[in-house]
Chains A and B, each alone.
Chain A
């Protein structure tokens, strides 16, 4: 068995905000009727978090449950636990119409921290990043320059970014450029 590695192997960059790739993280795409009680129960029991409302994300430590679309959730769990979590969902939803797939190795995850974190994202995405418009606990799927990405603000004010693994280096370079010292705009801080 080969050793799994993340796209950028934990690369970091320190500008006026810190950019780091968070390494390996287990990710499960869960699709189905999110309004059904069975679906909600299966997802929340397996991940240990409540099912979030529209455009919300619930998180604790390495675990998170994010609302991706009216019929899709993304679960974040420690990398090693993915198999067990999917097995738990499969067991709870046996016979139902649903989908739970391990997408851990198809994604990359970054975190931007520091006072200018919101500004870094604001330079790259067409999203109002002021804390009034985009408070912690909300998830936003959008684009970063030319690629799709999703992000949310965590409890400590850091911003977690998820993108496809194939564009991990592109996104890291974007974040690096946007966080470069001397390029502060100062509008959001």
Chain B
């Protein structure tokens, strides 16, 4: 069971209060883009074993979206951060580096 802290309302709740929204920091390719780009956006996911970034929604609470950084093998949550960002904030990355030296995830490390 994951224990997440919503950065929007500050509630620390367990998994069933939230809803997983899939992989984080995906760049959308919509109408007018090449089939290859759309395919990449649609299907090519990290599906990481270890450090992973996800989108979550506090659907039984304040209803806001946010990002979570966690480990898919140990279910350890490194932290949560605002949805209004293109990349994980530095303090989250530092926390992960302290616990999982040498980690990388897509272009982030």
Contact surface of A with B, Cβ cutoff 8 Å: 54-55, 68-70, 72, 126-127, 140-143, 148
B8 cross-chain contacts in A, Cβ below 8 A: 69-70
B62 cross-chain contacts in A, Cβ below 8 A: 68-70, 72, 141
B11 cross-chain contacts in A, Cβ below 8 A: 55, 140-142
The 3 residue pairs across chains A and B that have the minimum distance between CB atoms: A69-B62, A143-B60, A141-B61
Known contacts: A54-B9, A55-B10, A126-B16. The answer to whether A148 contacts B60 by CB under 8 A is yes
By the criterion CB–CB under 8 Å, are B17 and A142 in contact?
Answer: yes
B64 cross-chain contacts in A, Cβ below 8 A: 69-70
B63 cross-chain contacts in A, Cβ below 8 A: 69
Give the docked Cα–Cα distance between A69 and B10 (Å): 10
Secondary structure dominating the interface of A: strand
Q: Which of A68, A70, A72, A126 contacts B13 (CB 8 A)?
A: A126
Q: Which of B10, B16, B17 contacts A54 (CB 8 A)?
A: B10
* Residue in B14, B16, B17, B64 whose Cβ sees the most chain A Cβ within 10 Å: B17
Known contacts: A126-B16, A126-B17. The answer to whether A141 contacts B10 by CB under 8 A is no
Give the docked Cα–Cα distance between A141 and B6 (Å): 12
Give the docked Cα–Cα distance between A55 and B8 (Å): 11
Q: Taking CB as reference atom, which chain B residue is nearest A69?
A: B62
Shortest CB-to-CB span from B57 to chain A, Å, is 12
A126 cross-chain contacts in B, Cβ below 8 A: 13-14, 16-17
Give the docked Cα–Cα distance between A69 and B58 (Å): 10
Q: Taking CB as reference atom, which chain A residue is nearest B3?
A: A126
Give the docked Cα–Cα distance between A127 and B13 (Å): 7
> Considering only CB atoms and an 8 Å cut-off, how many residues of chain B contact the other chain?
14
Give the docked Cα–Cα distance between A72 and B8 (Å): 12
B14 cross-chain contacts in A, Cβ below 8 A: 126
A54 cross-chain contacts in B, Cβ below 8 A: 9-10
Give the docked Cα–Cα distance between A72 and B16 (Å): 22
Shortest CB-to-CB span from A168 to chain B, Å, is 17
Shortest CB-to-CB span from B82 to chain A, Å, is 11
Q: Taking CB as reference atom, which chain A residue is nearest B62?
A: A69
Q: Taking CB as reference atom, which chain B residue is nearest A148?
A: B60
A55 cross-chain contacts in B, Cβ below 8 A: 9-11
B59 cross-chain contacts in A, Cβ below 8 A: 148
Give the docked Cα–Cα distance between A16 and B13 (Å): 27
Give the docked Cα–Cα distance between A62 and B51 (Å): 49
By the criterion CB–CB under 8 Å, are B17 and A70 in contact?
Answer: no
> Interface readout for B10-45 with A: 1 if CB under 8 Å, 0 if not?
110110110000000000000000000000000000
Q: Which of A69, A140, A143 contacts B16 (CB 8 A)?
A: A143
What would 20 more interface pairs be, CB under 8 Å, given A69-B63, A127-B13? Answer: A54-B9, A54-B10, A55-B9, A69-B8, A69-B9, A69-B62, A69-B64, A70-B8, A70-B62, A70-B64, A126-B13, A126-B14, A126-B17, A141-B9, A141-B11, A141-B60, A141-B61, A142-B11, A142-B17, A148-B60
